[in-house]
């Protein structure tokens, strides 16, 4: 279908043009645990942090298939950079839910990005005149080292300390936006992979956040932009698509690097003049890895592409549609990891050395698949939908 071939446009080209620069900085990104200033400048100039942010709020307003290809391409050069670009875009979905002036100030300015961690049990926003007083600690703020703003998801409490309730009796939660300078950032991102994302913790202690800098995620009442992306897809969906792109981009680069290695590496103890690609086991492994990668990628593009067409036709998504998106992203992340593991094993001792391309990618993809959207328990929820049951988790 036409939507599968959309990435040949300006955003995909901008990402691919930057791949040599990104690849040349990969070791520095890993060592410094953040993106270099000159790379950030190039990413901002190309508007890649704002790929899917709404045009109405100053973003690029690209389609979701283009977004996937942008993330996948960048991940083939450096997974941390792709993760940061994907996270910034997912968070910038919020630009459709706040006043346009706030959206431009926070999300879509020339050098604006927002980092935001997931929900935190100890976070609370207490209603106050004109806004909220916010306290708590949040984790996994990917891109926080280069972001001027942070977001924080909070349970809302009344001024008397009781939990706020919606008219239907459900607990109220809201996301707060505030300058990073208002928070205490904790340098604790010392991890095995995706080191360059700088996904530190951050804390607030009784910070006042004005009402106009808050919103409720995916809430119809707060939505100001009613394009197909924002009326049909959630930030959760876009994070899943982004994580798929990161994992598949890592796996693609491993496949390409292994083919080069297989044409050059000769087992030293063999006593024969042959290279890895002459080995029948290696041949079989590469073919199976390529097939798994293509199948996982095709599943993502097929499901998200069909749903993009459905959204543009203003057709409502079903529960099965949402389960299919989660199935595609979960499967792609895990299958891409299997591809990398297979090639890492086939590369032999070469793969364990830092100067070779497999070691960091092996660590990066295993860090990526620890994210909740790759959890095996997701398949249980998807299976419940497939079997006509009420899902016992988020779809």
What is the CATH classification number for the domain harbouring 85?
1.10.540.10
Quick check: is 221 in a domain?
Answer: no
Quick check: is 391 in a domain?
Answer: no
Residues 286 and 362 in one domain: yes
DSSP state letter for 391:
P
Residue with tokens 């599968």: 4
DSSP state letter for 393:
S
Quick check: is 12 in a domain?
Answer: yes
| Cα gap 43→273, rounded to integer Å | 46
Q: What is the CATH number of the domain that holds 169?
A: 2.40.110.10
Quick check: is 376 in a domain?
Answer: yes
Residues 41 and 131 in one domain: no
Residues 281 and 205 in one domain: no
Quick check: is 227 in a domain?
Answer: no
| Cα gap 21→339, rounded to integer Å | 26
- Residue 119 has a pLDDT of 85
Residues 329 and 240 in one domain: yes
Point out the domain boundary residue: 184, 215, 246: 215
| Cα gap 343→257, rounded to integer Å | 9
Residues 313 and 190 in one domain: no
Paired tokens of 137: 């600690």
Task: Show contacts of 33-42: CB within 8 Å, 24+ apart.
Answer: 33/145, 33/189, 33/190, 33/195, 33/196, 33/198, 34/145, 34/146, 34/196, 34/198, 35/80, 35/81, 35/84, 35/143, 35/145, 35/146, 35/196, 35/198, 39/81, 40/111, 40/146, 42/18
Annotate 242-279 with b (16+ C-beta within 10 A) or e (fewer). bbbbbbbbbbbbbbebbeebbeebeeeeeeeeebbbee
Would you tell me how many other CB atoms lie within 10 Å of the CB of residue 121?
A: 8
Residues 144 and 168 in one domain: yes
Residues 41 and 99 in one domain: yes
User: Would you say 35 and 267 are in contact if contact means Cβ atoms under 8 Å apart?
Assistant: no
| Cα gap 147→257, rounded to integer Å | 33
Residues 247 and 371 in one domain: yes
Pairing of strands 184-186, 200-210: antiparallel
Residues 375 and 266 in one domain: yes
Quick check: is 79 in a domain?
Answer: yes
Residues 87 and 151 in one domain: no
Q: Which domain holds residue 277?
A: 233-386
* The model's pTM: 0.95
Q: What are phi and psi of 292, to 5 degrees?
A: -65, -40
| Cα gap 352→149, rounded to integer Å | 38
Question: Per this entry, what is the length of the chain?
Answer: 395
- Residue 3 has a pLDDT of 45
Quick check: is 223 in a domain?
Answer: no
Residues 277 and 355 in one domain: yes
Quick check: is 243 in a domain?
Answer: yes
| Number of compact structural domains in the chain | 3
Residues 241 and 209 in one domain: no
**Cβ contacts of residue 32 below 8 Å, gap of 6+?**
196
Point out the domain boundary residue: 70, 85, 106: 106
Burial class (CB in 10 A: 0-12, 13-18, 19+), 169: exposed
- Residue 377 has a pLDDT of 96
State the 10-residue block means of pLDDT for the chain, 395 residues long: 52 93 97 97 97 94 96 98 98 95 94 92 95 97 97 96 93 97 97 97 97 95 95 96 98 96 78 82 95 98 98 98 98 98 94 92 97 96 97 92
């Amino acid at each position: 279908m036409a939507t599968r071939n959309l990435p040949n446009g300006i955003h995909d080209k901008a990402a691919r043009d930057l791949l040599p620069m990104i690849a040349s900085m990969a070791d520095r990104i890993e060592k410094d645990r953040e993106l270099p200033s000159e790379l950030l400048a190039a990413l901002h100039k190309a508007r890649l942090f704002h790929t899917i942010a709404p045009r109405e709020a100053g973003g690029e307003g690209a389609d979701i298939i283009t977004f996937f290809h942008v993330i996948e391409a960048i991940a083939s050069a450096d997974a941390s950079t792709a993760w940061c670009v994907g996270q910034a875009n997912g968070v910038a979905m919020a630009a459709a839910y706040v006043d346009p002036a706030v959206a431009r100030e926070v999300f879509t300015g020339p050098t604006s990005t927002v980092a935001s961690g997931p929900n935190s049990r100890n976070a609370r926003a207490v209603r106050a005149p004109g806004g909220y007083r916010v306290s708590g600690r949040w984790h996994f703020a990917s891109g926080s080292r280069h972001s001027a703003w942070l977001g924080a998801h909070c349970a809302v409490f009344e001024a008397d300390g009781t939990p706020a309730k919606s008219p239907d009796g459900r607990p109220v939660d809201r996301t707060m936006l505030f300058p990073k300078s208002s928070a205490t950032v904790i340098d604790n991102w010392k991890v095995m992979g995706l080191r360059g994302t700088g996904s530190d913790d951050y804390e607030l202690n009784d910070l006042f956040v004005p009402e106009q800098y808050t919103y409720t995620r995916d809430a119809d009442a707060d939505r100001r932009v009613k394009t197909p992306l924002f009326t049909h897809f959630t930030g959760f969906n876009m994070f899943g698509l982004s994580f798929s792109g990161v994992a598949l981009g890592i796996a693609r680069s491993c496949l390409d690097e292994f083919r080069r290695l297989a044409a050059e590496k000769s087992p030293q103890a063999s006593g024969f003049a042959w290279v890895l690609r002459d080995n029948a086991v290696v041949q079989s492994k590469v073919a199976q890895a390529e097939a798994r990668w293509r199948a996982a990628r095709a599943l993502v593009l097929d499901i998200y592409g069909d749903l993009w067409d459905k959204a543009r036709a203003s057709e409502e998504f079903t529960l099965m549609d949402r389960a299919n998106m989660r199935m595609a992203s979960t499967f792609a992340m895990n299958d891409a990891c299997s591809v990398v593991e297979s090639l890492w094993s086939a590369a032999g001792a070469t793969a364990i050395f830092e100067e070779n391309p497999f070691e960091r990618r092996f660590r990066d993809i295993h860090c990526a698949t620890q994210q909740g959207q790759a959890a095996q328990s997701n398949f249980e929820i998807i299976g419940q939908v497939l079997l006509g049951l009420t899902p016992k988790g988020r779809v």
